[in-house]
Amino acid sequence: MSLSAHLVAQDSSWRQRSELAALADLPPQLDSELERLDKEFWVSAEKLKEVVNRFREELDEGLQENGRNIPMNITWVHSLPSGNERGTFLTLDLGGTNLRVCKVTLHGQEPPNPTNSPSPGQKFSLEQEQYKLPDHIKSSTAEELWTHIADKLSTFLSSKGLDKEYTKEKPMPLGFTFSYPATQDAINHAVLQTWTKGFDIKGVEGHDVAAQLREKMAARNLPLELICVINDTVGAMIASAYNDPETIIGAIFGTGCNAAYMSSLSSIAKLSPSDPRLKSSSSSGGKTTGKMAINCEYGAFDNAHAVLPRTAYDAQIDAASPRPGEQSFEKLSAGLYLGEIFRLVLLDLADRGLVFKDRDVGRLRQPYTIDTSFLSQIEDDESAGFAQSRQMCRETLGFDLADGEVELTRRLAELIAVRGARLCACGVAAICTKEGITRGHVAADGSVANKHPKFKRRWARALGEILDWDRREGEEDPIVITSAEDGSGVGCAIIAAMEMERRGRRA
Ligand code: G16
Ligand code: BGC
């Protein structure tokens, strides 16, 4: 039997589908709860296909006109890199959890100098600092955000001696990876549409983040010139394409979820061929490559709640979020939310007297106390009697779990992560079917893709079910996930290099 036929046969119940070894029989009440949860969280192949059909429509609508649900943002990145891009750049990355500043040197095709390239053959060298974004910043003000960022830029510049090397007259080129939905009139301009990933910083939505950053840098006399603002998905795609010509899509499966791909200009009805912005952003003489990178921002898919299999727990997360009604797809599938869904289910079972009786569930009541990495660790636990999972629960929740409860939490972690991975395949499947892409590499980054032990396999399996692949053991799939090589650092630097080249300048 082929792998896909085998999988269809698995479309029955969690008992057949689960990859986890059994620890204990569940008490009958918990067993029937798990049956219910399985029905709510399992997304069949048929449902995945229905989701993808609607997804395709929403992607198309976003290309037709502004203001549609999936924004399909124009990025002014006209081509994949040639692989020859060179120069030294500073990059700044504002993702969901970290702020990163990197000095990136692109070597192009030139053999790297062994003294500054730690791995021979690598086409870039990189020095970076990562700063955890303080929680209070996420709900602060534009002033606090940009002050914090300018502080880190300034610290980095002086720690690397770059404040001596560059001046206001001869500034260091800067690329900014801003991983939030933004409309761009040019590559060095980006108006934030709405905060996502739980951010709620006042005074930024509706404003050009490039201008806000530039103003703060000028006030600090930082010797930097902002060349481009990009999305992390575009960075992932471009960084990967620098080395890998099979790259078709850049995708992030992390705190948030999203993807970018190269669209032909003729498919972007909302961008007229005579748009003056096209002329000024394309290469000399106003010639275009006929292509444009599109940052889909598909975390917003199905905000109308027409097709996604939402549970009461998903509705609770949405209602308590800073932007209810937004990022519906992301709230079911991305890293910020998986741990929270898990917490809400456990709390519901506790409140109904089905688990954790006679124990203080105070910690479980606190929103976002359970990180998504908790789910990966539970699924990864092969210790005797699942001692590691027990220990983690004790540390996080503050009490011990009985065998049946440990068993339930393991099954639940699996159900939620499997649903997330299967839904994640829908976004990429929608782009591929819409664009007629049948082969290639999806350059992926983000904590879920990189840290969840089973994500990539589950994602691939679901993609195969949607696209009706006849998957066979040992054969490579036509579309595979590859690891994006540091999109927000290297990818952003490459885009800055391409932009400077277009302007006839060298970094
Ligand atoms: C990497 C990329 C970021 C991206 C992030 C997404 O960062 O460099 O541009 O936003 O992945 O993943 P997550 O949302 O899980 O942080 P990092 O710092 O996670 O390697
Ligand atoms: C943001 C996207 C980003 C994605 C992954 C989403 O919440 O809106 O811009 O690409 O997260 O970081």
Residue with tokens 């918990």: 30
User: Can you tell me the mean pLDDT for 259-277?
Assistant: 94
267 domain-assigned: no
Q: What is the phi/psi pair of residue 113, to 5°?
A: -75, 120
Q: State yes or no: pLDDT of 480 exceeds 60.
A: yes
Asked if 495 contacts 461 with a C-beta cutoff of 8 angstroms, the reply is no
Q: State yes or no: pLDDT of 7 exceeds 70.
A: no
The pLDDT tens digits of the residues spanning 39-59 come to 999 999 999 999 999 999 999
Q: How far is CA 410 from CA 27, 157, 170, 342, in A?
A: 15, 46, 57, 10
- Residue 172: give the domain boundaries: 86-244+487-502
Q: CA geometry: angle at 99 spanning 196 and 105, to 5°?
A: 125
Q: State yes or no: pLDDT of 4 exceeds 60.
A: no
Rounded CA separation 327/128 (Å) = 31
Q: Which atom of ligand 1 is nearest to the CA of 179?
A: 10
What are the residues facing 291 on neighbouring strands?
A: 264
The pLDDT tens digits of the residues spanning 275-315 come to 988 887 776 555 667 999 999 999 999 999 999 999 999 99
User: Can you tell me the mean pLDDT for 343-355?
Assistant: 97
Q: Which atom of ligand 2 is nearest to the CA of 327?
A: 7
The pLDDT tens digits of the residues spanning 66-123 come to 999 999 999 999 999 999 999 999 999 998 888 999 999 999 876 555 555 445 568 8
Residues 37 and 127 in one domain: no
Report how far ligand 2's centroid is from the alpha carbon of 207 (Å).
18
Separation of first and last alpha carbons in the chain: 56
464 domain-assigned: yes
What does the pLDDT read at residue 77? 96
Question: Which has the minimum average pLDDT: 230-239, 329-338, 370-379?
Answer: 370-379
Q: CA geometry: angle at 448 spanning 442 and 452, to 5°?
A: 110
Rounded CA separation 325/431 (Å) = 23
What are the residues facing 264 on neighbouring strands?
A: 291
- Alpha helices, DSSP H only, in 92-208? 142-159, 162-165
133 domain-assigned: yes
Residues 330 and 240 in one domain: no
What does the pLDDT read at residue 15? 72
Greatest mean pLDDT range, 7-11, 100-104, 121-125, 451-455:
100-104
Which ligand is in closest contact with the Cα of 98?
1
Q: State yes or no: pLDDT of 266 exceeds 50.
A: yes
Q: What average pLDDT is seen over the chain?
A: 92
Count of structural domains within the chain: 2
Nearest residue (CA) to ligand 2, atom 12: 256
CA nearest to 145, candidates 197, 201, 222: 201
Q: Residues lining ligand 1, CB < 6 A?
A: 93, 95-98, 100, 177, 179, 232, 252, 254-256, 335, 445-447, 487-488
Rounded CA separation 484/446 (Å) = 9
User: Can you tell me the mean pLDDT for 182-197?
Assistant: 97
What does the pLDDT read at residue 453? 87
Rounded CA separation 271/152 (Å) = 37
Residue with tokens 């053959």: 121
Residues 395 and 467 in one domain: yes
Residue to probe by mutation, ligand 1, list 99, 126, 232, most atoms within 8 Å of CB: 232
145 domain-assigned: yes
287 or 383, higher pLDDT? 383
What does the pLDDT read at residue 8? 41
The pLDDT tens digits of the residues spanning 363-372 come to 999 999 999 9
User: Can you tell me the mean pLDDT for 134-154?
Assistant: 96
Residues 157 and 235 in one domain: yes
Rounded CA separation 358/238 (Å) = 54
Residue to probe by mutation, ligand 2, list 179, 237, 321, 450, most atoms within 8 Å of CB: 179
131 domain-assigned: yes
Q: In the chain, what are the helix, strand and coil shares in percent, each to the nearest 5?
A: 45, 15, 35
186 domain-assigned: yes
Q: State yes or no: pLDDT of 464 exceeds 70.
A: yes
What does the pLDDT read at residue 2? 45
Residues 360 and 231 in one domain: no
Residues 421 and 462 in one domain: yes
Rounded CA separation 148/133 (Å) = 9
Sort strands 86-94 and 172-178 into parallel, antiparallel or unpaired.
parallel
13 domain-assigned: no
What does the pLDDT read at residue 120? 55
Q: State yes or no: pLDDT of 5 exceeds 60.
A: no
Give the CATH number for residue 116: 3.30.420.40
| 3 state SS of 98 | strand
Band of residue 504 on the pLDDT scale cut at 50, 70, 90: confident
| 3 state SS of 282 | coil
372 domain-assigned: yes
The pLDDT tens digits of the residues spanning 232-241 come to 999 999 999 9
What does the pLDDT read at residue 278? 87
Residues 464 and 494 in one domain: no
Rounded CA separation 152/30 (Å) = 50
CA nearest to 121, candidates 130, 112, 108, 129: 112
Residues 215 and 228 in one domain: yes
Q: Which atom of ligand 2 is nearest to the CA of 233?
A: 10
DSSP 237: H
Report how far ligand 1's centroid is from the alpha carbon of 34 (Å).
33
Give the CATH number for residue 49: 3.40.367.20
* Percentage of the chain modeled with pLDDT above 90: 82
CA nearest to 231, candidates 207, 256, 212, 214: 256
Q: What is the phi/psi pair of residue 402, to 5°?
A: -75, 165
Report how far ligand 1's centroid is from the alpha carbon of 375 (Å).
19
User: Can you tell me the mean pLDDT for 153-171?
Assistant: 97
What does the pLDDT read at residue 351? 97
What does the pLDDT read at residue 112? 56
* Percentage of the chain modeled with pLDDT above 70: 93
Q: State yes or no: pLDDT of 408 exceeds 80.
A: yes
Q: State yes or no: pLDDT of 63 exceeds 90.
A: yes
What does the pLDDT read at residue 119? 56
Residue to probe by mutation, ligand 1, list 330, 488, 495, most atoms within 8 Å of CB: 488
Question: Which has the minimum average pLDDT: 51-65, 104-118, 127-141, 350-364?
Answer: 104-118
Which ligand is in closest contact with the Cα of 175?
1
The single-letter code of the amino acid at 507 is A
Residues 381 and 339 in one domain: yes
Asked if 172 contacts 90 with a C-beta cutoff of 8 angstroms, the reply is yes
Nearest residue (CA) to ligand 2, atom 9: 180
Predicted model pTM: 0.94
Which ligand is in closest contact with the Cα of 298?
2
What does the pLDDT read at residue 485? 74
Residues 112 and 233 in one domain: yes
Nearest residue (CA) to ligand 2, atom 7: 256
Residues 110 and 53 in one domain: no
CA nearest to 335, candidates 394, 421, 230: 421
Please, what's the largest Cα pairwise distance for the chain? 75
Report how far ligand 2's centroid is from the alpha carbon of 217 (Å).
25
Residues 45 and 103 in one domain: no
What does the pLDDT read at residue 32? 92
Question: Do you know the residue count of the chain?
Answer: 507
